[in-house]
Amino acid sequence: MSGPVATVLTHRRPAETGPAIEALIEVAQSVGARLVIDEREATKHKLEPADGLEITPTMPRDVDICFALGGDGTILSALRTYAGTGVPVFGVNFGEVGFLATIDREDARSGFQRAFAREFDTLALPGIAVHAGNSAWIAINDVSVQRGQGQRVATLAYSVGEDEIGRVRCDGLVVATPAGSTGYNLANGGPVMAWGVAGIVVSFIAPHSLTARALVVAPNDTLTIQNNSDDEAVDVAIDGRPMIELQPGARLEARFVGNQGLLAQLEGINFYKRLQQKFGRLATLR
């Protein structure tokens, strides 16, 4: 019986993740696993084919597990890559908060051993299906619609189904999944949604209004956002990656879709424990 097949995605600073890549290769060889790395990652880390290490032109999708070494952005890239495939993403935090990470960098070697032994739970994460014109994307964390740098305040209308909820002059808005609700949405004062809640939340960036409030949209409803600005386009980003400009009068649709990403997490680490660990550290008063 052949061993498990794994792939890996790292952030753009190879000097930080290099020792963990070496440990991953060693652990994979010791357990009879096969590590498949695409040419971009191999070049980044100056790797050559070796026993148990295969280099391919692109990242394969037919694997047993994906290791993501970086911050939440890297883990999100891995989740999008394997969206809908059932491949779990095992994140090692080399970023700041690392809310999506399975383990911290100090535990990388033991974490790799546990991963190959399948000593972890998995959590299915929903996404946001986004459509604008002839383009479509899946977001795991959030979709942001923002005025361009140096441009005037945007006017954005938002509707659920056939009903327009409001029009807000603002710097932009964010549509987030429960997993993404602890990111840009939280910075906007939007609500934190526990993992497992079905629905998406809309929050506003610097609204020029006393009445603009965050809104949680039901999972079966479609949210429509229209750029009602007179002359200027707004920028649309998916999980922090710039995608398109939404021209005046143009609109995009966003809706909740379940079971897109599969996130590995250690036994006993649930959403509330993760929330407390990453955001609940308070200075001790003496």
- Cα–Cα–Cα angle for 63, 64, 67, rounded to 5 degrees: 90
Task: List the catalytic residue out of 38, 62, 64, 72.
Answer: 72
Cα separation, 81 vs 43, in Å, equals: 20
- A 10 A CB-CB count for 249 gives 10
Nearest to 143 by CA among 174, 116, 112: 174
C-alpha distance from residue 89 to each of 92, 219, 278 (Å): 10, 24, 19
Per the CB < 8 A criterion, the answer to whether 142 and 175 are in contact is: yes
The token pair that represents 21 in the structure block = 């890549």
Dmax (CA) for the chain in angstroms is 64
- 72: annotated active-site residue: yes
In the block, residue with structure tokens 């299915």? 124
**What is the residue type of 166?**
G
CA distance 283 to 2: 50
Both tokens of residue 24? 């991953």
What are the catalytic residues?
72
